[in-house]
Structures are given as C-alpha cells and as structure tokens.
Amino acid sequence: MTATAAAASKGRSTGLLSLFTLGAMPSKAVRGGLQVASLLVPLLLWTTIASLGLVDEKFLPSPQAVFRSLASMAESGILFQDIVASTGRVFGGFLLATLLAVPIGICMGVYPAICALCEPLIAMLRYMPAAAFIPLLIIYLGIGEEPKIALIFLGTIYFNILMVMDAVKFVPIELIETTLTLGGRSRQVLVQVVARYSLPSIIDTLRINIATSWNLVVVAELVAAEVGLGKRIQLAQRFFRTDQIFAELIVLGLIGFAIDMGFRLLLRQSCKWAV
C-alpha cells in the first residue's frame, strides 16, 4: 500500500478516536459543532443545576435571573456607563503602552546595544506585579482616571516591549541587507521593512496582552472608582447580588472576546500575505 493510500484509509477510520489522530483536521462542520458545544454545554449544565435547585439561588443564580438583572442594568443605563468607563480605561492605558512599546521593542530587536541597555531593567520590572503599584499610583496620581490608566500602562508595556523585540528578531537578515543595498536608510529599513515584516506578530502580541489590561482594570476599579464593571461587581457583593455579579462577569467575557476577534480580523485584513 502506498503512503497516501495508507493515510487515506487511516483518515477513514471512523469514530471519535479519529478526532485525536495527530495532524488530522476534522471537517469544517465538525469543528463548528464542537465550537458551539463549547459554549452550549456549560450553559445547559448551569440551567439544569439551577432549575433543579441543587444549589442555593443566593450562590448560583439561574440564567433567567442573571439575564433579568442584565436587562434591568441595561435599561437604567448603568451597564452602558460601566462599559464605557472600563473600556475607556483599558484602551487609554493599552494604547499608551503600545505607542511606546512598539518603537522601543523594534529598536531593541534591531540594535544589540539598545537591547543590552534596556533588557535587564525591563526583565526585572516586568516581574514586579502591576497591582503592587496601586498604592503608589494613588499617592502620586490621586483617585481619578490617571492611576487606573497608569496601572494598565505599567501592567502591559513590558510584555509588549519584550514580545515585539522577539518578533523583530525573526525578520530575515537578508531582507534588511537587501534593503540597504537598494539604497534604504536606517529609518526606511526600520519602518518599511522591519516593522512591516513584524506587523502580523505585533498585532498578535497586542491581542494576547490586552487580556492583561482587562484583569487590571477590574483590580483598579475594586480599589477606587465611581463607575466601571469592576466597581459594579464590588457593589453587587455588598448587596449580595450574585445575579448582578454573574451578569457583569459575562459582559466582561463578551467584550474581551469581541476585542480578541477584532484583533484577529485586523490581522486578516491588514496582513493577507501572512495568513
């Protein structure tokens, strides 16, 4: 039997087990079904447990209760206000971190001297938990928006820098040298070749790291805030409103998921050559 025939007959071997053959790719329909199940199964489980009354409703509210509280928060405008406040902080802090991290990361990736100068410091700073800076930030910046944005900035910039730096190291040296022999100057090489070549990895880096800023915004709001999804969760705890906590958690998850998809879409649109 030829190798392809062997592979074909293997692929045909039916049953669940064939899904776990290494390198095997289930059909699009199968994958879609599994993806839907990934969300649907936990939801069904939750509904069943809640409707059977296995757990006190104070601790595990039913999906209906959560949905009702979501609807009432949406109606009163609180939800919208919270979302705007939290996403504003996330985008503000993360945008600042990105604007600084991308050029620094590129320079560190390209110039060994700059890398040697910055890497030890950054490697140490990134192990200082961002949340530990909160007291200091409140002392320095008060309790307005600034400390929250600064916290997200501090919590994401180091990872952004290091991951951009790593991405840049994958730019083939031949591509840089070709550009030089075509008459490219340093700036042209950095912007038009190094940054451009690394763009897909940079977008992916941002996609992964923005998740951290969602963690931090909630932490920041738990400490000191008037509005925001994290703040609402804390208030809900005070009034034992687990339904509200669940609703806010689901909103956090959905927004995060949407941002993730947004980055994936951006990657697919701007870097067709790489996907």
Partner 1 sequence: MELIVENLSKRFGEKLILDHLSFSMHSGDFMALVGSSGSGKSTILRLIAGLDQPSSGSITVDGTPVSGPGPDRGMVFQKYSLYPWLNAAENVAFGMRLQRMKAAQIKERTAYFLEVVGLSDAATKLPRELSGGMQQRVAIARALATNPSILLLDEPFGALDLQIRESMQDFLLKLWQRTGLTVLLITHDVEEALVLAQRVHVLAPNPGRIIRSLDIDLDKTNLDQLRLSSAFLSMRRSLSATMRELEPALCLVKPC
Residues that bind partner 1 (CB under 8 A): 172, 174-175, 177-185, 188, 192-193, 196-197, 271, 273-274
Nearer to partner 1, 97 or 193 (CB): 193
User: At closest approach, how far in Å is the CB of 181 from partner 1?
Assistant: 4
For 203, residues 6+ apart whose C-beta sits below 8 A from its C-beta are: 263, 266, 267, 270, 271
Give the list of residues 6+ apart from residue 237 with CB closer than 8 angstroms, or none.
245
Are 176 and 194 contacting, i.e. CB atoms less than 8 angstroms apart?
Answer: yes
Question: Which of residues 84 and 275 has its CB atom nearest to partner 1 in the complex?
Answer: 275
Smallest separation (angstroms) from partner 1 to the CB of 197:
7
Question: Which residue's CB is nearer to partner 1, number 182 or number 254?
Answer: 182
Of residues 103 and 200, the one with the C-beta less far from partner 1 = 200
Q: Considering the complex, what minimum distance in angstroms separates the CB of residue 274 from partner 1?
A: 7
Cβ-contact 210, 156 below 8 angstroms: yes
- The C-alpha atoms of residue 6 and residue 11 are separated, in whole angstroms, by 9
3-state secondary structure of 127: coil
Shortest distance in whole angstroms from residue 101 CB to partner 1:
22
In the complex with partner 1, which residue's Cβ is closer, 9 or 186? Answer: 186
Least Å distance, CB 193 to partner 1, is 7
DSSP 34-89: HHHHHHHHHHHHHHHHHHHT-S-TTTS--HHHHHHHHHHHHHHTHHHHHHHHHHHH
- DSSP class of residue 193 equals I
Q: Among 162, 39, 29, which residue's Cα sits nearest to residue 102?
A: 162
Helix (H, G, I), strand (E, B) or coil at 144: coil
Residue closer to partner 1 (CB basis): 13 or 192: 192
Residue 118: is it exposed, middle or buried by C-beta count within 10 angstroms (0-12/13-18/19+)? middle
Shortest Cβ 106–partner 1 spacing (Å): 16
